[in-house]
Amino acid sequence: MSFPNPQIKLTVDAVVFGYEAGNISVLLIQRKYDPFKGKWALPGGFVLEEESLEEAVERELREETGVAINYLEQLYTFGGVNRDPRGRVVSVAYFGLIHPDGHTLEASTDAEAAKWFDINDLPQLSFDHSHILDMAIERLKGKITYEPIGFELLDTKFPFSDLEKLYSTLLGRPVDRRNFRKKINSLKILDELDEKISLGAGRPASLFRFNETRYKQLQKEGIIFEI
Amino acid sequence: MSFPNPQIKLTVDAVVFGYEAGNISVLLIQRKYDPFKGKWALPGGFVLEEESLEEAVERELREETGVAINYLEQLYTFGGVNRDPRGRVVSVAYFGLIHPDGHTLEASTDAEAAKWFDINDLPQLSFDHSHILDMAIERLKGKITYEPIGFELLDTKFPFSDLEKLYSTLLGRPVDRRNFRKKINSLKILDELDEKISLGAGRPASLFRFNETRYKQLQKEGIIFEI
DNA sequence: TCAAAAGTGTTCCATTTACACCCATGT
DNA sequence: ACATGGGTGTAAATGGAACACTTTTGA
C-alpha cells in the first residue's frame, strides 16, 4: 500500500489539428529514439512529477514541435496493458486546435522532425496512436456542431466563406450558404469588421471576428450553439 | 528516460449512480485507512500493473462495495499536482450506472462502509472527489438527452411513468407525458410487454423493456436518440 | 465583358409544443 | 363512489430545409 504500482508510467499525447486551404491536418513527429525510432507518432511524452497534465502536454508540444496551441482539452485516457512495448504505460491524450499563423514548426528533443499531415493521407503511426487519432477526429467532427470551436482553426480575422468551407469539410457534406449564414448571424457571435479581403477573382469578402465575450454571455443565458 | 516519473501513482475512481423512488443517488464508501480515515469518498484505488483501467474500476467496486455495474464509461482524468496528500497521484475517474436490483451493498477491504447518498444530500468528500462528482452529475444530466442511458438506471422491466419521472428528475423540469411518450414511441426502442404492474392506487401500468438490438440498429442507420 | 466568388429572402415542410379528458384499478 | 395514477390526439407555432439571382471585383 505504501508503494503501489511503481511500474506504471504516465505519458501525455497530443492530437493537434490545423486547417488550411480546405484541408484538415494533424501534427505528427518523427521519433528520434526507440521504440518506433524513425516512425511517425503523436507528440507527447512522460509526465514530470511536479507538473500538471496540461503543463506536460504544453511542454512536450513546445519541445517537440515548437507550436503555440490555442485550444486544448482532454480527450481520453488510454490504459490498455500492452499498448507500449517498454512496459505498462498509461497515456492521457489531449485534443488541440491551432490557428494557421501558429503553424511554423521546429522539431527538437525527442523529435527528428515535426510535420503536418492531411488527415486523409496519414503515415503509419507508432503505438496505438492511430486509434487515439481516430477518436480525436470523431471528437472534432462531433464537437463543432454544438460548440464554436471551429473558430480556433481559423485566423482571428476570416471571411465567412472560410468558416463555411471548414464546416462543410468537417461535416463531410455541402452546407447551404444562406441557411448557414442565417444561423450564425442569429447568434450574433461574429463581429463584421470594416476590412475586406480580395482573394484573386470574385467579389471581395468582408472579414469577421469571433466575439468570445458575446458567446460566453450566451452560454450563461443558457442559449446553446448548434449547427 | 529509462525510468521516468517513478513517483507518479495511478488510481481509478468510480462515480456510480443509482435511482429509486424519484431520487438519484451515488455510491460512496467510508475510508478505513488514512488519509481521510473515516471520511466518505468515491470507491476506487490503485491500478495494478497487469490490469486495464476498466478492470481496476470493476475490481475496486467489487472489493469495496460488492455492486455489479451495468454501464461504465470513462469520465475524466484528474492530474492536479496536489490533489492527494500522499504525493503525486493521478486518477482516472469513471462514470457508472446500476439497476436498482444491483443495489445490495457489502463493504470490505479498504472500505469501512458503503452507502447510497441522495445527490442532493451529500456528506463532505475526501480528496477532490466532490469536484469529480460534480462533473459526473453534469455528464449524467447532459448525456440522457442524447443517449439512451436512462434505461440503465431502471429495472429491466419498467412502467412508462418510471422513465418519465427519471427524465423529469434529471432534467430538473416537468416533462409533458404525451409528448414524451410520442417521442420515445417514434423511435420504437421500447417493447411493450404483456405484463402489467399495479402499484397501489390507480390504473395498472403496462411494463416496457428497452430494446437494445433495435437501438444499435438505429445507430447504424445514423438515427440519433434525442429528448 | 466574362468569370469567379460574395451576398441576400421567401416559401414550404417537419418538428415541437401546448393542452384536457377518459380509463382502469384499489380503497 | 371516489381518489389515484395510466393512457391517449389535435391544433398552433416554431424552426429547419430548399432554392436562384444580383453584386463586386480581377483578368
Is residue B105 within 8 A of residue B59, CB to CB? The reply is no
Is the model's pLDDT at A2 over the cut of 50? no
Q: Does A94 map to a domain?
A: yes
Give the DSSP H/E element, type plus range, for residue A158: strand A157-159
CA→C1' distance for A194 and D7 (Å)? 60
Q: Are residues B102 and B162 in the same domain?
A: no
Q: Does A60 map to a domain?
A: yes
The domain total for chain A is 2
Interface test with A, best of B1, B2, B5 (most A CBs within 10 A): B5
Q: For CA atoms A128, A134, A139, A144, give the dihedral sign.
A: positive
> Whole-prediction pTM value?
0.94
What are the distances in angstroms from CA B141 to CA A123, B24, B146, B149? 40, 11, 10, 10
Looking at residue A71, which CATH number applies to its domain? 3.90.79.10
The pLDDT of residue A3: 56
- Across the range A110-127, mean pLDDT stands at 95
The pLDDT of residue B5: 64
Of A178-187, B86-95, B99-108, B131-140, which range is least confident?
A: B99-108
The pLDDT of residue A5: 64
Half-sphere exposure of B89 (CA within 13 A, CB side): 21
CA A218, CA A82: separation in Å to the nearest integer?
Answer: 45
What are the distances in angstroms from CA A86 to CA A7, A9, A38, A64? 11, 10, 17, 20
Contacts of A92 in chain B (CB under 8 A): 77, 79, 90
Is residue B136 within 8 A of residue B76, CB to CB? The reply is no
Where residue A113 falls (left for φ over 0; alpha for ψ -120 to 50; beta otherwise) is: beta
The residue from A143, A168, A192 where one domain ends is A143
Reported confidence tier of residue B108, pLDDT bands at 50, 70, 90: confident
CA→C1' distance for A178 and C6 (Å)? 11
* Angstroms from B197 CA to nearest CA on chain A: 39
CA B19, CA B56: separation in Å to the nearest integer?
Answer: 24
C-alpha cell at A183: 444561423
Q: Are residues A190 and A92 in the same domain?
A: no
Q: Are residues A110 and A205 in the same domain?
A: no
Looking at residue A174, which CATH number applies to its domain? 1.10.10.10
The domain containing residue A41 runs over which residues? 9-143
Using the Cβ of A80 and the Cβ atoms of chain B, whether some distance falls under 8 Å is answered with: yes
The pLDDT of residue A116: 95
DSSP letter for A168, please.
H
Q: Does A79 map to a domain?
A: yes
Is residue A112 within 8 A of residue A38, CB to CB? The reply is yes
Is the model's pLDDT at B60 over the cut of 80? yes
Reported confidence tier of residue A210, pLDDT bands at 50, 70, 90: very high
pLDDT (tens digit per residue) in A123-176: 999 999 999 999 999 999 999 999 999 999 999 999 999 999 999 999 999 999
